Amino acid sequence: MDIKPQDFLSAPLTTIQSVPVLAGCLAIVAGSALYCGYSWALPKPIPGIPYDKAASQSLLGSLPEISAYIKKHGRLRPWLVGHSKRHGSVLTQFWMGPLAKPTLILADFQESRDILLRRGKEFDRSSRSISIFSGPIGHHHIAMRSDDPRFKGNKDLVRDLMTPAFLHQVTAPQIYDKAQQLIDLWTLKADLAQSRPFDVKQDIVDLALDIINAAAFGLGDDMCITKRQLDFLNSLSQFEPGIGPAGSATIPREAHIPDIAAIYEFGHHVGTQFKAISPKLAHPYKVLTSPTLSKAIARKNELIRREVEKTLDRIRTGDAGTRSAMDNIIMREMASAEKAGREPDYHSPQIYDELFGFIVAGHDTSASSIAWMIKWLGVNQPAQKKLRQVLSEAFPDHHRDHRQPSAAELIKTPLPYLEAYIQECLRLDAPVPLTQREATVDTEILGYKIPKGTEIFMLASGPGFQLPEIPVGDDLRREASRGPNHHPYGQWDHDNMDDFHPERWLKADDESGKEYFDPYAGPMMSFGFGPRGCFGRRLALLETRIVVALLVWNFEFHPVDGVLASREIADAITTSPVYCYARVSKIFE
Ligand code: HEM
């Protein structure tokens, strides 16, 4: 009904009286619709699982609190640990934004391990983590669900690469060679710095890339970043190091060559995918709008193409020796094409992505773990001394003759304290402090009904690892995850859980009294578990073993002071120390 002001004079009384009634009705309908919409858009908790009341009453869910936390602390991950602690519950839920489904935080090692190890039919890679990788390396198995028809073929392609035989014969010499380049670089830098500490973070990031480049592609010295930095410093006739934080020495660096810069650019892009609201859209958008990124992608593809061709040339000329993952993959493709009676495709996106996945998944992770291991050498002098002592006892002749053990010797000689040192660094500062899964069916966790599609963050840091466990009744667990056979791990001593104490990993053999490394001593989840656990775990452990042993053999790491000794953490794709400085002197001149 359309009533104008002048109509009021002539309209019958009943019509005029009905106007406010109608307006009132409309307001009630609109209000109810708004209320229904509001209620519909409010977060919907999974019954029984604790959550923040305020978040459940906000259309933005937990986002305002998370944003405020990140603004204040610059990191998200401790907020997740705090959430579990605040609610005193191993399973809690929160909402990552408007209209979001609940995301669960599971802060219980035993339950997480059970899910990762034995419940692959109910939980798989989350949709979000698939969409993070599907743009940049969509043909790598990291970007696939386990039931993806391509998954098995991809895993077959890389199945030799983490076997002890392949790692020891092919990869270890590459790691050793690159670690030696770093020793040469730091010998020179120690001279230049004249007893002052210098920043080693970028050197470690470069070393980790050299190693993974060599392991994946067998790249030669012309592509070795550490070697180029060494040549660059040697080429400078005279210079005085500058002064950096806390009196440290700043030593110049040469810019990366374009191929290496392209790899770094691409790695940086994958990092930004983690922060994107929609990684699926962010990738193509970035490729279209960033000429640097699109050039980096073209350059990386050209680098792989060139290396594939080099490998093929070598094979054609009768040199069938395997120097890297690429050689193995090419020969595997050759054999399976012959068996299937088809033409081999050495330039398939599957081969390119599986190879480049070494860098995407293995570079930042290894760099951050080595950075912590170096940091702890300076901070924890007794552990460093003990490491040096066990190495000299294990290789007395080498020590006497001032020659370092070879890669093969470092691999085959039992070095329980070194293993304990490495695990302790990973336990205290897990570079990947959480593992994600998504429920692929309606299921249960600790007796709570979990709808299909729910995402779960399983903490590899916090309660059970460096903080006392949050209690949970064993009767809530599935039968299959109870008992020592299904959960063979001990618990960490509550009195010193947050201390750096490698000895916690060591046991004495009942009969011989000999010390050995016990991987089940207590909770540890730095590499995840199960069929989708870290593919590169053995490579990472081999790499850290060789690098730490050689560095400790060659250098004394003196304590550093002030801010340089701080344990401040940088949260990016992985967590690494903000300050990673070393003050070193050579052991053998
Ligand atoms: C200390 C170094 C490393 C750490 C801490 C680490 C940690 C992890 C973690 C926590 C996961 C997820 C596991 C899960 O979801 O259950 C993972 C997955 C993966 N990692 Fe590592 N990683 C390291 C080094 C490497 C290296 C050197 C490679 C080299 C190839 C690698 C390749 C992968 C791949 C391909 C996956 C995905 C596996 C899949 O989707 O099935 N990682 N890593």
User: Over the stretch 537-558, which tens digit does the pLDDT of each residue have?
Assistant: 999 999 999 999 999 999 999 9
Pairing between β-strand 249-250 and β-strand 555-558 as defined by DSSP bridges: unpaired
| CA of 362 relative to ligand 1 center, distance in Å | 7
Beta carbons of 287 and 294 less than 8 angstroms apart:
yes
Same domain for 441 and 423: no
Same domain for 472 and 360: no
What gap in Å lies between CA 467 and CA 359, rounded to an integer? 32
Which residue's alpha carbon is at the smallest distance from atom 24 of ligand 1?
Answer: 362
The separation between CA 462 and the C-alpha centre of its own chain, rounded to angstroms, equals 16
H/E segment holding residue 558: strand 555-558
The total number of structural domains that make up the chain: 2
pLDDT at 15: 55
pLDDT at 17: 63
Beta carbons of 383 and 421 less than 8 angstroms apart:
yes
H/E segment holding residue 508: strand 506-508
Pairing between β-strand 249-250 and β-strand 242-243 as defined by DSSP bridges: antiparallel
| CA of 435 relative to ligand 1 center, distance in Å | 10
| CA of 351 relative to ligand 1 center, distance in Å | 18
Residue 387 lies in a domain: yes
Residue 36 lies in a domain: no
H/E segment holding residue 455: strand 455-459
Q: Is the CB of 372 under 6 A from ligand 1?
A: no
Which residue's alpha carbon is at the smallest distance from atom 37 of ligand 1?
Answer: 142
| CA of 132 relative to ligand 1 center, distance in Å | 15
pLDDT at 307: 95
Same domain for 472 and 510: no
Q: Residue 448's domain is classified under what CATH number?
A: 3.30.43.20
| CA of 74 relative to ligand 1 center, distance in Å | 25
Same domain for 422 and 339: yes
Q: Which amino acid is at 187?
A: T
Beta carbons of 383 and 552 less than 8 angstroms apart:
no
Same domain for 188 and 110: no
Determine whether the annotation assigns residue 580 to a binding site. no
pLDDT at 240: 85
Same domain for 427 and 437: no
Decide which of 15 and 278 is more confident: 278
pLDDT at 1: 42
What gap in Å lies between CA 323 and CA 133, rounded to an integer? 27
Beta carbons of 61 and 95 less than 8 angstroms apart:
yes
Q: Is the CB of 528 under 6 A from ligand 1?
A: yes
State pLDDT tens for residues 54-109: 999 999 999 999 999 999 998 888 999 999 999 999 999 999 999 999 999 999 99
Q: Kindly tell me if the per-residue pLDDT of 16 is higher than 80.
A: no
Mean pLDDT in residue range 156-176 = 96
Q: Is the CB of 137 under 6 A from ligand 1?
A: no
Residue 24 lies in a domain: no
Q: Is the CB of 433 under 6 A from ligand 1?
A: no
DSSP lists the bridge partners of residue 586 as 555
Mean pLDDT in residue range 250-256 = 95
Same domain for 510 and 461: no
Alpha-carbon Rg for the chain in angstroms: 28
State pLDDT tens for residues 171-209: 999 999 999 999 999 999 999 999 999 999 999 999 999
Residue 56 lies in a domain: yes
Q: Is the CB of 174 under 6 A from ligand 1?
A: no
pLDDT at 14: 56
Q: Is the CB of 362 under 6 A from ligand 1?
A: yes
Mean pLDDT in residue range 133-161 = 96
Same domain for 470 and 422: no
Q: Kindly tell me if the per-residue pLDDT of 363 is higher than 60.
A: yes
Q: Is the CB of 142 under 6 A from ligand 1?
A: yes
| CA of 199 relative to ligand 1 center, distance in Å | 27
Task: Read off the DSSP letter of residue 448.
Answer: E
Q: Residue 271's domain is classified under what CATH number?
A: 1.10.630.10
pLDDT at 368: 97
Same domain for 125 and 249: no
pLDDT at 24: 79
pLDDT at 32: 82
What gap in Å lies between CA 575 and CA 77, rounded to an integer? 10
State pLDDT tens for residues 444-489: 999 999 999 999 999 999 999 999 999 999 899 998 888 887 889 9
| CA of 529 relative to ligand 1 center, distance in Å | 10
Ligand 1 atom closest to the CA of 140, numbered from 1: 35
Residue 355 lies in a domain: yes
418, 442, 476 — which closes off a domain?
476
Residue 26 lies in a domain: no
| CA of 431 relative to ligand 1 center, distance in Å | 10
Best residue among 117, 147, 365, 545 to mutate for probing ligand 1, ranked by most atoms within 8 Å of CB: 365
Residue 306 lies in a domain: yes
H/E segment holding residue 123: strand 123-124
Q: Is the CB of 370 under 6 A from ligand 1?
A: no
| Confidence class for position 442, pLDDT limits 50, 70, 90 | very high
Beta strands per DSSP E along 168-246: 198-199, 242-243
Q: Kindly tell me if the per-residue pLDDT of 147 is higher than 70.
A: yes
Q: Which amino acid is at 202?
A: Q
Residue-level length of the chain: 589
State pLDDT tens for residues 96-130: 999 999 999 999 999 999 999 999 999 999 999 99
Beta strands per DSSP E along 448-521: 448-450, 455-459, 506-508, 515-517
Same domain for 573 and 551: yes
Q: Is the CB of 378 under 6 A from ligand 1?
A: no
pLDDT at 28: 84
In angstroms, the Cα distances linking 344 to 186, 318, 322, 351, 390 are: 44, 18, 19, 11, 50
Q: CA 170, 175, 178: angle at the middle one, nearest 5?
A: 130
Mean pLDDT, the chain, rounded, equals: 93
Query: What six digits make up the tokens of 399?
Result: 């020590």
Domain of 539? 164-432+490-523+526-586
Same domain for 400 and 309: yes
Ligand 1 atom closest to the CA of 432, numbered from 1: 10
What gap in Å lies between CA 318 and CA 98, rounded to an integer? 61
Beta strands per DSSP E along 136-253: 198-199, 242-243, 249-250
State pLDDT tens for residues 285-322: 999 999 999 999 999 999 999 999 999 999 889 887 89
State pLDDT tens for residues 37-55: 888 889 999 999 999 999 9
Beta carbons of 255 and 265 less than 8 angstroms apart:
no
Q: Kindly tell me if the per-residue pLDDT of 401 is higher than 80.
A: yes
φ, ψ of residue 583 to 5 degrees: the values are -120, 105
Q: Which amino acid is at 485?
A: N
Residue 82 lies in a domain: yes
Same domain for 177 and 117: no
